[in-house]
A and B are shown apart, each in its own frame.
Chain A
Amino acid sequence: MNTDMQVSPEAMFTETEIGKQKRWIENVMRIFFLVMTSLMIIPLLLIVGYLLYKALPVLSLEFLFTNPKDNMRAGGLWAPFLGTIYLVVVSLLVAAPIGVFAAVYLNEYARESWFTRITNLAVVNLAGVPSIVHALFGVGAFVLFAGLGESILAASLTLAIMTLPVIIASTTEALKAVPMSFREACWNLGATRWQTIRRIVIPNSISGILTGVILQVSRAAGETAPIMFTGAVFYKAIAEGNLFAYNITEQCMALSLHLFTISTQVPDVTEGIPYGTAVVLVGSVLLVNAVSIVLRIYVRTRKKW
């Protein structure tokens, strides 16, 4: 009789010792890595929570719409807030067309060659240049050589060059996502390269391109070092409630620099104001980022191919 050889159905579906061990190890590892990942998320929540908690006493609409007062020990954020908007808008106007066109070149025109490789390498390196070196470049090139002086224009140009890789990278992603067959179909109808790009490639990737442009805004709004010596100033009084209070050939205040100033250089600042400034800065940056993320998710769900 060979009953020993027969495996009962129960035995077949019962876990062996090794199998149990495998599952146990796998679960332990899964939990271990989950904890590691969560440990990075906790700081984000903690920081935002802590800042909000400390800033609550000062946060109000009035805080946003009044100028800093009393040697920046009291008052609100109007001048720095408006200054940041100026810097971001001007840098966006410069960086967006150059960045999008550069991505179009890299993705649609450039062939595999050593030159293309160097161009890609330059984009990566431009993203890796330290922000303070961008500041030195801004001083050397825009403030002194081009004779713009310390002005919103010089600071924005510095920011634009610094944030160019953000736009190039995400636009390239967006263009790559358009299937090659779309282009081929268009070429076969006799369209030229540029007609294909304008009528087919860009309309099909416009949301992805917008995502990159929005990211550039968030990046430019938070930077401090590049604007410190090229156009942002510690203090400048402007008319409250006037959206055109700055002139782009003059200096301006900026939220990020203002946070640095009142937390390190000015003694006896009213408790809560630095926290309020940090909350407004983080809040606007995260808000802009959230818009870009929502847009991206929306695009993905609507994708037709």
Chain B
Amino acid sequence: MNFINICFSFKGRINRTAWWMMHFLIIAISTITYAAYTASSYLLFITLVSAWMQLAVTAKRWHDRNKSAWWTLVYLIPIIAGIGGLSVWTLSGWWTLIYFIPIIAGGTWALVELGILKGTKGENRFGADSETSSETVIELLIRLCGISSIVFVFGIFFFVFREGAGFLFNGLDLGQFLTSPEWYPTSLSNKRYGTFALILGTFSVTALAMCIAVPFGLGAAIFVSEFCSPKLRETFKIIIELLAAIPSVVWGFIGLTLMNQLIIAVFNVPIGLTMLNGSIMLALMSVPIIVSIAEDALKAVPDSYREAAEALGATRWQVIYRVLLPAAKNGLLAAVLLGAARSIGETMAVLMATGHSVNIPSGPLSWIRTLTATIAAELGEVARGGEHYQVLFIIGVLLFTITFLVNLIADLVIKGIRQE
């Protein structure tokens, strides 16, 4: 039985699960449409369709119990008795409670019949066994959930773009937006929305973070995959996993307190909230990603490669350097790319640790501001729908595009190895 038949046909049988799921589906759809639309003609249409569906589903469920679909009329008992009961209630005393017995009894009986009891086994006068009839509904749900990621990715782009589109096509000077370092969104006389300094801030802090994270990440991946005993490997992997679990706001807090004091003490600067501080935090956050993906890449190299190299007399280091790294280079590149994508998108840590002042970065100890931190710091303070508000959403689109491209490239690089 296909899905259309389950929804609208009065012939055939369905089982309990299908009956319940269809009810939830109908209720969910009508709730969402009632919330989203106010046009009365459309609402009437939805009401009629969902009433039809409920009747059709219930009829097929009665068939499954080997009863005529006319039993659906049992639902009228509570209504009639209810009206009768209410009219008597106003006239006389407590004894009219007796009128409510059919209401409760009828409703409960129908609910037990339709929702709880199994259908007749094997064929009955209304059709074949219904045991697998709920699968159509379940599989449809599974398919819907399966494609939900695609829907969400498009949805994210659509809704972020939608909020910023008005100003993007009508008023924003894109050249200035991308190349001017002047970010004065709240200036009274001359508002300027140049994000160049922010873009530079994002990329410089990410680049410095990668300079720190890549050697350590790849080194750790090589150690875990090539030198470790299995037990030690498990321990390291657990620790790396815990490192990855620390929330970004806590990293920001560490940058604000511990790392701030350390940088002041080591470099003898007045304020330690600098690009270097942010980079160290980002490095610590992206190392776990780099380690886990790089380790997967190294593990994917067949053991025969290692054995062949060792049989030729190569040392472990020679095996790694001459055989494993070239063989796994795509996976390692993907690891670095994904680590970089994580750094570009990170918000709270850089907001708290980098000094947050619009500045063309001049060195590891300069204050910077990133694209993400700008949105986080300013979205709460702008008027909804204004130019500044829309510019923040356009920055969001820019960020989405950058990370999307980096992820896409990383995916293509990984797929490249698989096809070889």
Contacts and interface: CB of A to CB of B under 8 A. Distances in A.
B17 to A, nearest CB: 10
Contacts of B138: 194
Q: Is the interface of B mostly helix, strand, loop or mixed?
A: helix
A124 B334 CA distance: 12
Contacts of B246: 44, 47, 222, 282, 285-286
B379 interface: yes
Interface in A27-62: 29-30, 32-34, 36-37, 39-41, 43-44, 47, 50-51, 54
Contact of B146 (A54, A119, A293): A119
Contacts, number: 259
A126 B149 contact: yes
Contacts of A124: 407, 411
B408 interface: yes
Interface string B254-290: 1011100000000000000000000000001001000
B125 interface: no
Contacts of B245: 218-219, 222, 285-286, 289
Given A122-B150, A130-B344, A37 B223 contact: yes
A140 interface: yes
Nearest to A194: B135
A278 B254 CA distance: 9
Interface stretch (B39-47, B66-74, B92-100, B153-161): B153-161
Interface string B130-165: 001001001101110111111011011001101100
A247 interface: no
A145 interface: yes
A282 B247 contact: yes
Interface size class of B (residues with CB under 8 A): 35 or more
A224 to B, nearest CB: 4
A223 interface: yes
Interface stretch (A63-71, A85-93, A103-111, A235-243): A103-111
Given A259-B250, A264-B256, A132 B345 contact: yes
Interface of B: 35-36, 132, 135, 138-139, 141-143, 145-150, 152-153, 155-156, 159-160, 162-163, 215-216, 219-220, 222-224, 227, 236, 238-243, 245-250, 252-254, 256-258, 284, 287, 291, 315-317, 320, 338, 341-342, 344-348, 352, 372, 375-376, 379-380, 392-393, 396, 399-400, 403-404, 406-408, 411
Given A109-B142, A132-B347, 14 more contacts: A22-B315, A29-B320, A36-B223, A41-B243, A44-B243, A128-B406, A130-B345, A133-B156, A133-B160, A136-B160, A164-B152, A194-B135, A224-B249, A264-B352
